[in-house]
Copies of this chain bind each other. A is one copy, B any other.
């Protein structure tokens, strides 16, 4: 359960102030953007002035969250004054000053208090008031509980935004962060008139034709090693050029070979340039692979890791396979 004292402290700051700036991390995802919208809805319900200012642009598949076109893509010259005049900053889905970049710097210099709501692990005080709960599937799940506690009569837009947070951060309720509580919050949100099929389609069914062609090439060029326990493929610069595809089009690809029977680890090479290769490793959950990524100067979690290496593809492949041989 969330700490009642912190909820009270945050709501006191909110009620005593007028001008709010909400922000989130670089390259925002569904949880980041959805949380911003839900918080903005609450602040507007309290008749506050709200600006959502992000360091990155909004990815196209989340533009449906921005029906009022209020997401501001931060430009120092244009928006520094807006930030400096804020009474309160609300930072969502992030508790790391670095990933806030220029916005973080201005916040740090400002006298205005910062409130942080997040579900990522941190071992330091980040903002003036931190509401952090790692057990929450998503910032959206945690924010729902906060908003329920402060008796916000959820708007449909807020419900859609929070549902999007949970849907995306749990991979449609299938990642291990999905708990009984996560489903309970989803159950409450679905009491509003949310078109879940439409949201799913808007978020996940926006693949480019280039992405499909690139995936096709990847799948017909799958290699199997270690008695089928490893499946790997490489996306070459030539393949990107041929299909007019970009690195953005590879989203989700590293997971795909892992869905093959018997495959425990999947490995993807992305040739950004001749001697600039991204390595992406995914494990089904029995073989730990982040130390392999570390050998190549990268890192990550036990079952999802990566690195970026300045070695040509044909030299790199045998090196990575050799390292993987030690853990397979």
Interface residues of A (CB under 8 A from B): 167, 172-176, 178-184, 186-191, 196-198, 200-201, 204-209, 212-213, 215-222, 224, 228, 231, 256-261, 284-285
For the complex formed by this chain, how many copies does it contain in all?
A: 2
**B209/A220 in contact, CB under 8 A:** no
Most B C-beta atoms less than 10 A away, residue of A212, A259, A261, A285: A212
Known contacts: A180-B190, A205-B258. The answer to whether A200 contacts B174 by CB under 8 A is: yes
Looking at the assembled complex, report how far the CB atom of A256 sits from the nearest CB atom of chain B, in whole angstroms: 8
CB distance from A250 to the nearest CB of B (A): 14
In the complex, the answer to whether A175 meets B190 with C-beta atoms within 8 Å is no
B190 to A174, Cβ gap below 8 A? no
User: Once the chains bind, are A220 and B222 in contact (CB under 8 Å)?
Assistant: no
Interface contact A190-B196, CB-CB below 8 Å: no
A184: contacting residue among B167, B184, B217, CB under 8 A? B184
Q: Contact between B172 and A173 (Cβ–Cβ < 8 Å)?
A: yes
**Which residues does chain B contribute within 8 Å of A284, judged by CB atoms?**
201, 205
Chain B nearest CB from A303 CB (Å) reads 10
| Of the residues B200, B218, B260, B285, contact of A207 by C-beta under 8 Å | B260
A206 / chain B contacts, CB cutoff of 8 Å: 259, 261
Given contacts A173-B172, A174-B197, A260-B209, contact A220 B216 (CB under 8 A): yes
Q: How far is the CA of A217 from the CA of B213 in the complex (A)?
A: 9
How distant is A234 from chain B, measured CB to nearest CB, in Å? 14
Which residue of B is nearest A187, CB measured? B183
Residues of chain B lying within 8 A (CB to CB) of residue A218: 216
Partner of A220, one of B167, B178, B217: B217
Expressed in whole angstroms, the Cα–Cα distance for A191 and B183 within the complex equals 11
